[in-house]
Amino acid sequence: MSHHRQAAVAIVGGSGFIGSNLADSLMSDGKPVLVIDNLSRPGVEQNLQWLAQKHGNLLAVERADVRDAKAMMSALAAAKAIFHLAAQTAVTTSLADPAEDLDVNVRGTFHVLEAGGRVGAPVIFASTNKVYGALPQIAVRQARDHYEPCDDDIRANGVGEDVGLDFCTPYGCSKGAADQYVLDYAKSYGLSTAVLRMSCIYGPRQFGTEDQGWVAHFLLSALAGRPITIYGDGLQVRDILHVNDAVAAYRGVLARIDDLKGQAFNLGGGPRNAVSLRALVAEIASMTGENIALHYDRGRTGDQPFFVADTRKIEAALGWQAKFSWRDGLRDLAAWLRQHRLAPGLEAARYVA
């Protein structure tokens, strides 16, 4: 594994789920990649090993923490473009330790922006639909096994970028503040930046815990014969997006960053890939043949009854569309999990909180 810093494209948080898939996509096209990561999450070393074995000297690695300003300046000194994916990603963790959440997500993003500004490198930031808050202004009604908006346009197209920011929970606040800093660096300093506000991304190399990566967590639990806890009534709806489609969007934004700088885009599976938690569990049970034990617990702070991204803005900007249907994507992830997380000799429990 190379440890020098000659790569043209830097991925901060590049050993994680989305980062490692993005790195693989870029290097598969012959583009050198610098992965910057503090390697704090259990299991991410395996993603780096996979990338190194597959791509050799196209991969450079720098172990550094976004909270360390000097380390970011040094690590990103040769970057020509930056994908910023490093974050504290769990709402529950942010509620338990809001100070660390703020430090990683706000101060860390500031350090990346400052380093990007120093070398004039575009910065594309991984934001979240949580910047829209719990969306109490969107009235919903129950329809069989899911909630649906009462508003005809939202029901047909999803929630647009114009719904308005309404930070809720420390995680929502920290990611939202970082989101706004990234956009402001385009306005105030002319840096080429863009923000992708993601819905639920899933796919191979996802670790899957109760707090983050719930699609993989549900699948892992079912395949391992463990019960699944649903927080709330399970009628909550999300538009899930396969990681390959997410990677295509990130790369598309970078390719057109001069035209798209200073803009935020919703990124999700859209109405065609909208599914409730109950419906997803039912599909997993049907697909795996497992009898899944379900437990229900009280809903979580800031949980949105319905979030489906209106992706028309990014579709128009890039000509991008989600290619994986959620059922096909679920089967793709299940096959990967069986081979890489549940194969004989692997300790599946170490990947699941």
Q: What is the pLDDT of residues 94-138, one digit of tens each?
A: 999 999 999 999 999 999 999 999 999 999 999 999 999 999 999
| Domain contains 4 | no
Check residue 165 and report its DSSP letter. Answer: -
Question: For 229-236, what is the mean pLDDT?
Answer: 95
Least reliable range by pLDDT among 2-16, 155-169, 192-206, 215-229: 2-16
Position 343 confidence tier, pLDDT thresholds 50, 70, 90: low
Does 345 score more than 60 pLDDT? Answer: no
The two most distant CA atoms of the chain are separated, in Å, by 56
Range of the domain at 133: 9-351
Q: Which pLDDT score is estimated for 330?
A: 96
Q: What pLDDT, on the 0 to 100 scale, is given for residue 210? A: 66
Contact call for residues 84 and 109 (beta carbons, < 8 A): yes
Sign of CA dihedral 105, 110, 111, 113: positive
Cα dist. 334→219, 220, 340 in Å? 7, 8, 10
Q: Which residues pair with 148 in a beta bridge?
A: 141
Closest CA to 20 of 3, 37, 7, 42: 37
Q: Is the pTM above the cut of 0.85?
A: yes
Q: Say what the pLDDT of residue 352 is.
A: 30
Model confidence at 344: pLDDT above 70: no
Tell whether the model's pLDDT for residue 258 goes beyond 80.
Answer: yes
Asked if the structure places residue 2 within a domain, the reply is no
pLDDT of residue 6: 57
Q: Are 191 and 185 in contact (CB under 8 A)?
A: yes
Instruction: Give the chain's domain count.
Output: 1
Neighbours of 205 (CB within 10 A): 24
Question: Domain for residue 3, yes or no?
Answer: no
1 part of a folded domain: no
In this structure, are residues 240 and 199 in contact, taking their beta carbons and an 8 Å threshold? yes
Q: Which residues are tagged catalytic?
A: 171
Lowest mean pLDDT among 6-10, 21-25, 304-308, 341-345: 341-345
CATH of the domain at 216: 3.40.50.720
**Residue 249, domain member (yes or no):** yes
